[in-house]
């Protein structure tokens, strides 16, 4: 009888959200320990932070011009 050959096992892909959380934890820990020293990790932290907090930025006021004169008010 011929020996059975076992096929190489391929590991499953990691969950993307787990990888992102791990990377974010790494960057936060780096800045907490080393401070913002200007290294590439600190620069990554600042880019990621600005992207994640972008939604919380206040919209800038915009001047609006009236298209037509205001309507007269009823008494």
> pLDDT tens, 11-51?
888 899 999 999 999 999 999 998 888 899 999 999 999 99
CA–CA distances in Å: residue 26 to residues 42, 45, 46, 54, 72: 11, 9, 13, 21, 62
pTM for the model: 0.56
Q: What is the pLDDT of residues 47-57, one digit of tens each?
A: 999 998 888 77
């Amino acid at each position: 009888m011929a020996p059975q050959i076992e096929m190489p096992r391929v590991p499953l892909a990691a969950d993307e959200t787990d990888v992102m959380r791990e990377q974010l934890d790494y960057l936060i820990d780096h800045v907490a320990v080393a401070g913002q020293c200007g290294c590439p990790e600190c620069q990554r932290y600042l880019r990621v932070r600005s992207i994640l907090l972008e939604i919380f930025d206040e919209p800038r006021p915009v001047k609006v011009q009236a298209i037509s004169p205001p309507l007269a008010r009823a008494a």
